[in-house]
Structure 1
Amino acid sequence: MKVGKLRHKIDIAYRTASTGSRGGPTSTDWEDLYTNVPAHIEQLSGTELEQARQLVPESTHKFVIRYHGGVSLGDRILFSGAFYYIDSINNVEERNFWQEIVATKSNEIVPIETVPI
């Protein structure tokens, strides 16, 4: 992968859980892990699933970035006003130089304050 192909900017966030006075989880928030990460993006598939008698689009993308430690399954990516949940992470050739991340686009509505202008 040539660095010049990293044309897009993505944010990667991880899930945090707050605990109540009794030690149980009270809410789940997202904290930025990395912001403005240069990435190359490819759409891998587009399928439609029938869910509750309506069609729901499902879209899978591959994000290629320079290696960033700490990215894990369950994290999410914000790209172009949409959330993508990470399904797999490949440390290319185990050299800690490139990461290929496969993620599925969410149907969640992104809050306006989250979308970069």
Structure 2
Amino acid sequence: MISRKPVNQNLLIKVEAILNTYFQNSENSGLPSAEFISSQLNLSAKYLSDCLKQLTGQGIQQHIHEKLIEKAKEQLGNTDFTVAEIAYNLGFGYPQSFNKLFKSKTKISPLAYRKSLN
């Protein structure tokens, strides 16, 4: 039986830092992937996801989605970008995909979220 080392809080901090850096770097195109993040940590995507699940109850994909929603909310509240521009800024190929993810995570559309802030 393979036993895994206890997961520590540093892993979560490192994942957050990688995601923050990814979204600040305008040269990145597309959405961050589990493979990208795990490669930055020299771990397999499966192992990283398992570790995060053990630590937080959520896998790597959920962490990526949470960070996307957080960044989207910042841009919806602090910029005049259209929803489509925000979708492209975050790496979505299609604004509809962004709208669908945002609504599935927040139960409200990006436009409705923006209006609720005013």
Q: Sort the TM-score into its range (normalised by shorter chain).
A: under 0.3
TM-score, structure 1 as length reference: 0.21
Q: If each structure's helix is expressed as a fraction of its own residues, which one has the higher value?
A: 2
